[in-house]
């Protein structure tokens, strides 16, 4: 067992936990935030667009989106194709968005504080080589 993989999995789990802590005050979980962020960027998206963009399977998005809708973060409506579901942020979600984003950015800066931007882009490059 290569320690690199172990480190990678462990670090990621740890960071995810930290993001959850950061988002706790906004009553959100990390993956919910990821979906919100992604929809915010695109204004409106179908479920298929979301899961293709985020590189996860369809049922994951079905679940997260319906939970977010239940909680009042999202509004869904039918697209022209009657099979597809189009999603956008609710007014309250749009209102709260900047503050949540600020928390996330602060967390990210804190986490990356020990790394120069050269190191950051190097890390990015190396991650992309894993495959």
Partner DNA sequence: CCCCTTTAATTACCTAGGTAACTATTTAAT
Partner DNA sequence: ATTAAATAGTTACCTAGGTAATTAAAGGGG
Closest CA to 86 of 49, 41, 121: 49
> Which range, of 9-17, 42-50, 70-78, 79-87, touches a copy of itself by CB under 8 A?
9-17
Q: Which of 1, 57, 113, 126 binds DNA (CB under 7 A)?
A: 57
What part of residues 84-123 is at the interface with DNA (CB under 7 A)?
A: 84-86
Size of the site for DNA (CB under 7 A): 31
Q: Which is nearer to a copy of itself, 33 or 85 (CB)?
A: 33
What angle is formed at CA 101 by the lines to CA 34 and CA 66, rounded to 5 degrees? 35
What part of residues 70-129 is at the interface with a copy of itself (CB under 8 A)?
A: 101, 104-105, 108, 111-112, 114-115, 119-120, 122-124, 126-129
Encode 84-121: b = buried (16+ Cβ within 10 Å), e = exposed: ebbbbbeeebeebbeebeebbeebeeeeeeeeeeeeee
Contact between 45 and 86 under an 8 Å Cβ cutoff? The reply is: yes
> Which range, of 28-36, 90-98, 103-111, 123-131, touches DNA by CB under 7 A?
28-36
Q: Which of 56, 90, 97, 103 binds DNA (CB under 7 A)?
A: 56
Q: Which of 56, 71, 75, 86 binds a copy of itself (CB under 8 A)?
A: 56
Closest CA to 50 of 74, 82, 86: 86
């Amino acid at each position: 067992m290569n320690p690199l993989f172990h480190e990678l999995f462990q670090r990621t789990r740890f960071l995810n936990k930290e993001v959850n802590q950061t988002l706790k005050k906004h009553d959100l979980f990390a993956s919910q935030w990821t979906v919100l962020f992604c929809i915010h960027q695109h204004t409106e998206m179908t479920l298929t667009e979301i899961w293709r963009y985020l590189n996860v399977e369809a049922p994951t998005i079905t679940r997260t989106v319906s939970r977010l809708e239940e909680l009042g973060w999202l509004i869904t409506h039918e697209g022209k194709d009657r099979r597809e579901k189009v999603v956008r942020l609710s007014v309250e979600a749009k209102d709260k968005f900047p503050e949540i984003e600020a928390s996330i950015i602060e967390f990210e800066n804190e986490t990356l504080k020990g790394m120069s931007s050269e190191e950051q882009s190097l890390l990015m490059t190396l991650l992309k080589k894993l495959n």
